[in-house]
Structure formats: C-alpha cells, structure tokens
Chains A and B, each alone.
Chain A
C-alpha cells in the first residue's frame, strides 16, 4: 500500500509539470494585455516599458521556466522560511511569483483568501455529506416509499438548478423579503473582517455562513445522496445480506454495519473526487455572497489579465484534482480488503 502510494506520488510529478505547462500555453495564447486596463492617456512607449518590466518581452519558454523556478523552487523555500524560520539560500532577494496587478506575491494573496474558502466550501461539503448519507440510506432501505419519492424529487431539483439561481433566490427570500429585524433575516454579504470573539460575533458568523453553506451544501447533498442510494440498493440485494439476517442480527446491524460499510466504498471515492470540483463550484457562490475567497480572487485575476495569479490558481486547482484522485484510490484500497495495489 505504502509502496503503491509512493509510486503514484512519483508519477504525479511529471503529470503536474505537464499540466502547468499546458496551462501556461493556454494563458499565453489568450489575447490579453495586462496594460489594457490602464488609462488610454498613457503613451505606447510607456506601455511597452511596463510590459518589459513584467518580463513580457521574453520568449514564452523563458517565461515558463522563470515561473517554474519561482513557483516550484523559490515559493517552497520561502514557505519553509516563513513557517519554520529555516533560511536556505538568498532569503531576502529571492524572486517570487508576483501578481501583476498588486505586485504582491501570489502565494501570500492565496494564503489570505484560503481560510474563507475553506470555511464556506469545507463546511458546505461536510453539511452536504451529513445530509446526503442518511437520506441515501433511508431512501434505499425504503425504496419507492414516499420518503424515497420526495428525496428523489428534491435531489433532482437540487442537482439541476444551478447555484447562482438558488443563491439569488435565497438572498431574495431571506435578505429582502424577510424584514431586517426578524430572527430569520440573513445577511446577503459575507463580512470577512468579522472576528469571532464572543457569543454575539459567533452567532453573526453562523448567520452569514448559513446561506452560502446551504446553497453549496444542498447541491452537494443532491449528488451524494443519489450515489449513496444507488450504492445501498446494489448491496441490499447481495447474498451476504441474507446471510447476515440468517445469523439473527438486528435489522439495524445488518443495515448500518454490513450494508453501509460496503456501500460507503464507492461513495467515499466519489466524495474525495468531488472535493476539488467544489472549489470550482465555489467560484460562483463566492461571487454571489461576496465571500472574498479563492474563487473571487480567480475572477479578479481573470478580469485584470493578471496572468501569474491566474496561472498559479489554476495550477493549484489542478494539483488538488490530481491529489484527490490519489487520495480516492488510496481510500478505496483501505476500505476494500479485496484491493491490494501491488
């Protein structure tokens, strides 16, 4: 198992290098100009100077190598320095991947935005799973009951209605229709500067998280509950379930020990594989609720043609996808004793 994981990890390195190069290529092909948003009064020579100062006159492969050096070597060294105080090489003058728009290091920008995204996105995923698993289990056990029918209906809606619609709908209901002073009123804007120090600020934090978390969470729940149900149904008709009943086990044990354990195997992998997608899906939700997380950062970067920022963020999403693919495979092996990676 360990062997397998290590080998897979080795294999991810060339994969990720290739992905980073492709992202770079695509972004380079896109007709964008970082000086395009500057006032028109700036004369062309000055624009050219600005481009040169950003290194844009160099050939494509030089720029890619520079980015690679900065991202794959300098940034990790810098992290070591920041976290542990270890200084390797030139700690002060080291070049880092910097945003064109703000001139600050991209990794710092990301670190700043990460907690908001993790809170909202992570919470919504947890909420989604907590809702989905029991619903999936009950729907399968009571197949075609009214519970199952309603669950199917809601899941279909949750699955097919996009989050930008549900998000706006919730805002219209809970921030606009519901009067301001009501208990049910919820803020439509996520205030990142809010610090949780006491009960009141904690409640405020909870309130402002409810809508974005529910919008994303219900979307996730719709998907996962379907998987859960299908997987449970697959297993409920297996022979080993009859054996478990023939042993005189309680229905609860049969369902929650024997069937659930088997049913979770594919669901856990689906959950793991879905985590990176969630970051992508969060882009829209973050935009609606003004959560200044990673998704919003990416949108700002795209609008401002901030290539280093977009390149780095996109690449990070790619890393997440590759990483969670690996995690899913490893989990599969851990959960299913029949699978041994040799």
Chain B
C-alpha cells in the first residue's frame, strides 16, 4: 500500500481525544496517512471532521489538557516524534515543519511588528544575528509578494489586509526552509480573488522551494487544482484516500461522491443552488463502532450499522473504508 522508504512523514493509527467537562470528544480516530517529499497531499472533509486536530496533534499544538493523544505513531524524517522531548519537538516546529493557520486575522500577535514575528523563528532555528535575520525577513516578505518589503517589516499586523496577513503567515511558516508545510485552510477566511492569489502563490513557492505540503480544505475544487493525492476525512477518520485523478474519476465512498456532487458543475447555470449533503454531521462522543456515515448513506445496509469498516485497497494507492462496492453494485464480501 505504501512505499515506506520514500516518506517524509508517516502517521499511523493516530488517536486524539478531548476530555471535556461534558465527556470525551473523539476527534481523531485511528488516522493513518503518509507524505512523500515534495508532494502535495490534500485533506478534505466537512467542518468538524477532525482535519485541524489531526494536524495539530502532530506537533502537539493542541491545548493539553483537554486534548490527549492516546495512541499512534508519528514518524518524521525517519524519526518517531510522538514521544520526543519538548526541546526536540520545538526544533521541528517552525524549523522542519511550517504551519499556516485558518484565520490570518487572529494568528499574528497584534502588539509586535511583522518584522519581529518573522525574525523570531530565524533567530531560534537558524541562529542568525539581528542583521542577517532582518535581511532574510525582508527577502521572505518579498518572496510571498508583499511590495516594499523591507519598509513593511516595521508595520504591525493591523496595518495589513487579511490576504497580506496570510502572506505574512506563509513567510513565517517558510522562514526556516521547512521540509513540510502544513496549510490549514489558508484561504477559507479570505474572499475569492484573494483565495486565488494565495493559491497561485503556494503553487509557485512549491515549484521554487520543493517542500512537501499538506493542504487542508473543505473545497474539492481547490484540491482538484493543486493536490497530488487526497485523503477524505469523516468523523475523525480517513474514509477514502487516492491519487487526485483517481479520486475524481472513480470515487468509492458514498461520502466522497456526495462531496463531489456538491461541486458546482461546469456549464451549469449560475444561480442554481449548490447541493449540500443531507442529514446531521456525526456526533463524536463515542468511539466509532459502526459506520459513522451510515445514517446519511443511501447504500447503508445491516453490516454498516454493526461494524466500522476498515480501509481496504481498491487499487494500488487507492483505499476506501466502506462495505459497499460500486463496481459490483452490491456489498463487498464479508
């Protein structure tokens, strides 16, 4: 199923739980995925499906407590980083793995200049002195397309627009030449034209710098445009995973199909309502013992309500967690 030797990041059976006052929230359940150097992996799923929590678990960026990583292994660059000491983990954060967050409006510290915030990781990870760091910070701002970069280092975040702030966040994430960039819905909070610009920027930077990228989104349209491979998440689990062409051509999970149907079609008249998936999003207050999608699934049958489907290979590099077999139009063999 996978070529172990060539992965930069390999996550197996990750399980993250929130211990809240109202009981446990099982946000990430047995999630496994891998990432090859230079590759772009897209993660899709509706709101609350555990995309952000999965990625933040990798670098322990969740508030603990309430979050608790209960199981799994996280291998980065041949090293298990789930149980490394804090100072080792800090070297990876911002050094080997850069992170861009969902909301650029709140992700920068309002009382420090943008220059200060870009320089910080440069000094920590690359050991640059003030002058070198300042120079590199200006270069980075230029790289992400902020005009008049060296003058803008002295500005505060509130003096930048949302799109510009996200560019600053990208500059920070890329500051130390990371091997992996995790972009958690970097364009969701921005308007459409700015979204397109940021998307172009990332594509461009990927060409220039060649890092591997994990791109989280709930927009399959974006995935189609930039991703090499896709993992679809539902209720804290990966329910389908394939190369991007394969996924769009031959979706195997009813949820993936439903997602694809919500995409506006080419040639469709403007103003037709976007389709949405019927039914309630799943409740995460229990470990999955049956298929979490079954209540919303038109193919669901008895087995789906009794047993949680495991990921099975459909073809090389394409797997799905479903008991329904679209090729035969009936249940898979038990």
User: What is A's interface to B at a CB cutoff of 8 Å?
Assistant: 237-240, 242-251, 253, 258, 261-262, 265, 335-338
Contact = CB atoms under 8 A, between A and B. Distances in A.
A70 B63 CA distance: 63
B125 interface: yes
How would you classify the secondary structure of chain A's contact residues: helix, strand, loop or mixed? helix
Contacts of B92: 248
B111 A246 contact: no
A246 B109 contact: no
Contacts of A238: 106
B115 interface: no
Contact of A249 (B61, B106, B110, B124): B124
Interface of B: 56, 59, 61, 63, 86, 90-95, 98-99, 101, 103, 106-112, 120-121, 124-125, 156, 158, 169, 172-173
Nearest to A340: B158
B172 A243 contact: yes
4 closest A-B pairs by CB = A248-B94, A247-B94, A248-B93, A239-B106
B93 A242 contact: no
A338 B90 CA distance: 30
Nearest to B96: A248
Given A247-B120, A248-B125, A249-B124, A337 B111 contact: yes
Contacts of B120: 244, 247, 249, 253
Contacts of A249: 90, 94, 120-121, 124
Contact of B111 (A245, A250, A262): A262
A239 B125 contact: no
A253 B109 CA distance: 13
B95 A338 contact: no
Contact of A239 (B101, B111, B156): B101
A242 B111 contact: no
A250 B110 contact: no
B90 A246 contact: no
Nearest to B109: A240
B156 A338 contact: yes
24 contacts: A239-B101, A239-B107, A240-B107, A240-B109, A242-B107, A243-B107, A243-B109, A244-B120, A246-B93, A246-B94, A246-B98, A246-B99, A247-B124, A248-B93, A249-B94, A249-B124, A251-B86, A253-B120, A258-B109, A261-B112, A262-B111, A265-B111, A336-B111, A338-B110
